[in-house]
Amino acid sequence: MLINVSFVCNKVHAQNLTLSVQSSSLNFDYSKESDFETSRTIQKAFKLTVSSRNRGIFIYGRIQPSANVLMSSVPQNPFGVKVNYSPVTISSSYFQPRNLTFSDITVLAYNSRITRPIAFDFDLILNPIGYTIAPENYDYSIIFTITEQ
Amino acid sequence: MKKIFILITVFSTFLNGRLSYGQGISQPVSARLSVKSFISMKINKSQNIDFKFNSTEQMEQGITKPNAFNVEIKTNQNWNLSVSSLTPNFLALGPDSQTLLPSSILGLRKSNTSSFISVAQNPVSLATGGRGSSTNGQNQFNLDLKATPGLNFDGGSFTLVVIFTVSPQ
């Protein structure tokens, strides 16, 4: 009977933390001089809907190139993100661009419980990639992770 | 004996709950960057490139205009810069210029290299390089210009359209 209690406990934690990501189409051309040399901002590229009934949250972001390419040959930091809209008060630093790398970086933290789902809008920043990257299609996964604080 | 068993089990349950706090939920989104082939070139004329020949020595030895052009190339591919003339001969200007002066009397070279390459109607390779911006030393350089008409042509005024073409290798 005590073992049963333990399983219920884990299930409650899983239900209490939710993450849903909606995004616009994320296909981007680099064809003009300005594409290679200046950053572009895609307004509200992501909508992250989250809830966390027990604790505050961290949201992390990272990128992962598709498996069929050499890591050394892909643009290393092509993307950044920043919060565009928050329905709750968060640190102003999250409204500033943060570059996504191959390791998780914190893109948002909120210190209170979120009992009902709320949605954060994120901008996507396309960093200039310069001219050292060979012409090619480069596929990535942008991975968002939510954890409890 | 029974009490000890219950205590251990409760402690185990507590640990299980604590560990789950660090677990997260991840969701991936796909994104694609389509990097297209790109080449751009700027050629700036750094000085007046009119040639005036006032002596036989100048006509035989030629006149050189060092660093006549500054070339800047931005590309994400290896490149080749070639030069050609629009016409096989200079265009004679004015009634006194009857001679068919060939474009080959004009030569170009990358500055700090030795030999000039004669300009012809067919493109001739002038320089090569790799991908990078114009701050990459290889992709920014000067060209020297030289004209050597010799003594076989009548005097006059002549003009020639020179075409620079940069293309992927």
* Containing structural domain, residue A35: 2-148
Output the pLDDT for position A5: 34
Maximum alpha-carbon separation in chain A: 67
* Residue A45 dihedral angles phi and psi, to the nearest 5°: -70, -30
Counted domains in chain A: 1
Output the pLDDT for position B137: 79
Maximum alpha-carbon separation in chain B: 124
pLDDT in tens, B48-77: 789 999 999 999 999 999 999 999 999 999
* Shortest Cα–Cα distance, A79 to chain B (Å): 10
Output the pLDDT for position B13: 34
**Helical pair B2-20 and A2-16, crossing angle rounded to 10 deg:** 10
Contact A109/B at CB under 8 A: no
The CATH number corresponding to B39-168 among 2.60.40, 1.10.357, 2.40.30, 3.10.20 equals 2.60.40
Point out the residues of chain B with pLDDT beneath 70: 1-22, 97
Output the pLDDT for position A99: 97
Output the pLDDT for position A68: 67
When CB atoms are compared, the residue of A18, A36, A142 closest to B29 is: A142
Output the pLDDT for position A31: 96
ipTM of the complex: 0.84
Picking from B12, B118, B142, the residue whose alpha carbon sits closest to that of residue B66 is B142
Contact A13/B at CB under 8 A: yes
Output the pLDDT for position A123: 97
Output the pLDDT for position B46: 78
Q: Are A138 and A129 in contact (CB under 8 A)?
A: no
Supply the DSSP string of A48-59, one letter for each residue.
EEEEESSS-EEE
Q: Are A60 and A105 in contact (CB under 8 A)?
A: yes
In terms of Cβ atoms closer than 10 Å to its own Cβ (0-12, 13-18, 19+), residue B168 is middle
| Distance, CA of B12 to CA of B18 (rounded, Å) | 10
Domain spans of chain B?
Answer: 39-168
Output the pLDDT for position A70: 66
Contact A4/B at CB under 8 A: no
Point out the residues of chain A with pLDDT beneath 50: 1-13
A146 vs B contacts (CB less than 8 Å): 24-26
When CB atoms are compared, the residue of A31, A146, A148 closest to B21 is: A148
Query: What residues 37-96 of chain A have any CB closer than 8 A to a CB of chain B?
Result: 46, 55, 60, 64, 75, 78-79
**Domain with A95 in it: what CATH number?**
2.60.40
